[in-house]
Structure 1
């Protein structure tokens, strides 16, 4: 224990207290979390909206600013991974399970119950995809880009530890090495834990739903816990192999399977309809982006609840994921320039996510709206498999999907143990297996107690609450980025003038 950091010790103690609280008093924990969720959504929804929009504007500013040529590393550093492998890692660690869980269910849900207008109509179908693109598009990846950019710059160019606190040194100075720095890193740790827990919970639910369709396995909490325990063993084994083997190979496997699944859905579904739908809704999304990103409905309580339950929850989820995804993206982005990095992280994943949701969600909407199949009546976790039943080769697609969810599950948890290890070992790029295994067990235990305390709602609450202090940290981080970039440009200009 003498070699363990203060951040690790304090984080593990707090995490164990939380797990024990949930294990022995699940109903009490569930009640507390319900109260907390209502408070943060009602009181700070505007704050999450403004913060998410700010990060998008800030990312655009970085792309077009004079800072674009600054390299995330030394001037002679070259990228460690090819672009194809780099993109595969972005998706696998970023949004893998969510793309499958929400691929059909979110667009269909918005189509049936849109934020404005009547559900079940052609207008609500277009609106559904616009809002799905909003939730998984530019705002989300801008949050990731800002955090990853700061971490990569300070780690690879300045030689600072790979910690969230280190990125605030231009503002806080040496105080990042004391209690203030420890507090910032612990906030990032718990935002990461709860953000990843949500994905683990969603993944176990959808694997359970897929196995139910394939082999008749019952859908219940016990089965989902069993799934989490089995995959915990698998991702701990993967984590022990290190990033070059475990995560890299799984990420490439995920990308291949996801591409096959996407192409199959496009071909087996209403292909021409989907291509036309994507072109139309992508234009509407870009055209209406500012309005949708800031919409909060102050005079309409019902519509405000919709925004809180979907849009604001997503902003909090991406913010809580940002230390995890940001550190992982930073780890694999050494040698990129600020402009190349920001454009790639912001634009490419957004377009791919939008096309994914159009193909999967558009197929579900087409079945419901134009063929009379009740896709909207299915639960979130079963919607995708219900759509498969009405397509050729549906059984094969279900098998591939369960395999893909499983590999995404393993990769996300594998990546999370690596990042949590970095966060709690003063930024070590190679945390010990003991550290990674400890965090792997804590992640699984936390996901289980949250599911026992209130299912998806408890997971959402943990995200919304943990993201609040982290949002403040990220806003300060943005100021720090500008301050240090200005200093670097000034130094470079002075050298040229000598």
Structure 2
């Protein structure tokens, strides 16, 4: 027991725990003060560093394409016994999508177009609904997936080629900092990673859990959303705790089950909503609009605050997840070439997210256009997004089937995402954990509980969407700096190895 305890990196556990409890008490006890503090820091970052977030986004997109089509793309990440990748293309792709896309994708697919339709920047266009969907495809498109894919390549190279010997976030920066990674520099990088991941889980749970609670409440005729949200968070924790304790085999199987429910929901809406042709036509138009205007959208800063309010938020939201999900993607990519990881990663990532937004968003837009549910007006008059989404779902034939699929898909997506990050963050918590070793079940269970404290405090304090977004934006700033250091370290090491 003493030997096991001695392997744990205690500062990386104690400091985050104290910080989480302190922030949770602050959010719950002083909601107004916490709101002003978060908004003040967010306003400062938006005013002085919007360009920084935009440049980082462009850097990662260009870098991921360069590494795939350059000489580095032929490098294979380790070898397997039979010479083939560790996981088949189908299972690998499903695990990538379900380990990166939490239940937020369903929530935003159903209501993000409503959020944009009320923005002055979007309302200046003649076709508001088309541009609303176009910006959804932009914010969930190649740029944000480049964050995951580029870092997955760096982590995979670290794990299977250079074999650094330790499964820690800071190890990816060793080619740049050398032995300093064993000291305070490494500790700071790992602390940034853990804090960012705590912010990511808080953002995810707090944004979309009310929708899941509303749907489940409709199915069982219970309408206390806050109580149901807490109960469902506990249920999700139990599911992903059991799966993470069992190990990678359970995570792999759960991802396939979850993906089946997700595709089932999309097919039900596409086939039975009565608007299949509209969904396809509008999806093609929005995709074409995105291709024509991509460069301008990626470099726009003067947008009446739209860029700061939404684009910077989304880049930040994905950045805080970059401390765990790319590590997981890299860890399941043994035997694949760098080019294969990049191209298949984009194919699976963009394929799943674009299907979700094109089908679910256009379903809601069709109801708005045909005056079945005036979603935009309902939001303006005080209805919550969850309430409006439920009204939209009720326009489907046998809508309870769709609600069951939606609930199961959301629970599954929550569970698979937190399976992967619990596994990864547990690995970060050890001083030395080799590639062949897995963290203890107790460590995984510990982080499973810690991850729900912050979102519970945000739910109990009735935090606004602005508060939840601000948590991600603030945490993303130091994370983005580490992300750049990891990419520089990767290029430095692979260039040296090839020479």
Asked whether the two chains share a fold, i.e. TM above 0.5, the reply is: yes
Shift of 1:126: 1.3
Structure 1 residues 187 and 486, CA gap change in structure 2 (3 angstroms): same
Alignment partner of 1:197 is 2:202 = yes
2:15 maps to what in 1? 10
In structure 1, the partner of 2:457 is 449
Aligned pairs for 1:347-386 within 5 A: 347-376=347-376, 377-378=378-379, 379-386=384-391
Residue of structure 2 in register with 1:494 after alignment = none
Q: CA RMSD in A?
A: 2.1
Superposed displacement of residue 360, structure 1: 0.7
Instruction: Note if contact 1:196-1:416 (Cα within 8 Å) is conserved in structure 2.
Output: no
Within a 5 Å distance, the mapping from 1:4-403 to structure 2 comes to: 4-5=8-9, 6-74=11-79, 78-113=84-119, 115-118=121-124, 123-160=127-164, 161-245=166-250, 247-269=251-273, 270-297=275-302, 303-304=304-305, 306-376=306-376, 377-378=378-379, 379-403=384-408
Query: Does the CA-based 8 Å contact 1:319-1:471 persist in structure 2?
Result: yes
Query: Partner residue of 2:493?
Result: 484
CA contact (8 A) 2:114 2:375 kept: yes
Per the TM alignment, residue 99 of structure 1 is displaced from its structure 2 partner at its CA by 1.4
SS at match of 1:267: helix
Give the distance between the partners of 1:115 and 1:392, measured in 2 at CA. 35
For 2:85 and 2:205, the matched residues in 1 are separated by 31
Do 2:73 and 2:338's aligned partners in 1 also have CA atoms closer than 8 Å? yes
Q: Structure 1 stretches of 5 or more lacking a match?
A: 491-498
Tell me how far 1:180 sits from its aligned partner.
0.1
Q: Give the whole-Å Cα distance in 2 for the aligned partners of 1:54 and 1:200.
A: 29
Taking the aligned partners of 1:413 and 1:348, their CA distance within structure 2 comes to: 19
Cα deviation per residue 1:58-109 (whole Å; 9 max; x = unaligned)?
1111122111001122487532111111111112111131111111101233
Greater mean alpha carbon deviation, residues 377-386 or residues 431-440: 377-386
Shift in alpha-carbon separation, 1:30–1:112, aligned structure 2, 3 A:
closer
Asked if residue 409 in structure 1 is aligned to residue 417 in structure 2, the reply is no
Question: 1 CA distance for matches of 2:224 and 2:56?
Answer: 38
Q: 1:113-152: CA deviations, max 9, x gaps? A: 3633447x6x111111110011111011100011111111
Equivalent-residue separation in structure 2 for 1:338 and 1:392 (angstroms): 45
2:469 & 2:459 partners in 1: Cα distance? 10
Deviation at 1:373, TM superposition (A): 2.5
1:13 positional shift? 3.5
Q: Provide the rounded CA distance (Å) in 1 between the counterparts of 2:33 and 2:241.
A: 31
Q: CA deviation at 1:489?
A: 2.2
In the TM superposition, what is the alpha-carbon distance from 1:27 to its structure 2 partner?
4.3
Q: Deviations over 1:402-426 (max 9, x none)?
A: 1211121222222221121012224
Q: Return the offset for 1:445.
A: 0.7
- Determine if contact 2:8/2:431 at 8 Å carries over to the other structure: no
**Partner Cα separation in structure 2 for residue 87 and residue 427 of structure 1:** 30
Q: Against the structure 1 CA distance between its residues 22 and 114, is the aligned structure 2 distance closer, same or farther, given a 3 Å change threshold?
A: closer
Runs in 1 of length 4+ with deviation above 6 angstroms? none
Q: For 1:440 and 1:455, locate their aligned partners in 2 and report how far apart those are by CA, in whole Å.
A: 25
1:270-304 deviations in Å (ceiling 9; x for gaps): 1112112222221221221111112121xx6xx21
Deviation at 1:159, TM superposition (A): 1.0
Instruction: Give the SS at the match of 2:385.
Output: coil
Report the Cα offset of residue 20 of structure 1.
4.1
The 2-side partners of 1:213 and 1:309 are apart by 32
1:362: Cα distance to partner? Answer: 0.8
Maintained 8 Å contact 1:451/1:459: no
Bigger CA drift: 313-322 or 227-236?
A: 227-236
Aligned residue among 419, 436, 439 for 1:431? 439
Alignment partners' CA distance in 2, 1:11 and 1:74: 36
Deviates more, 1:408-417 or 1:250-259: 408-417
Q: Deviations over 1:8-56 (max 9, x none)?
A: 3433343343334445545443332232222222222221111112111
Shift of 1:182: 0.9
How many residue pairs get aligned? The number is: 482
Q: Distance in 2 between matches of 1:329 and 1:75?
A: 17
Relative distance call for 1:426 and 1:385 in structure 2 (3 A) is farther
Superposition TM-score, scaled by structure 1 size: 0.91
Cα distance, 1:237 vs structure 2: 2.2
Please state how far the C-alpha of 1:374 moved relative to its aligned partner.
1.0
Contact 1:194–1:463 (CA under 8 A) maintained in structure 2: yes
Gap change, CA 1:329 and 1:382, over 3 Å in 2? farther
Quick one: distance in 2 between partners of 1:381 and 1:79? Answer: 41
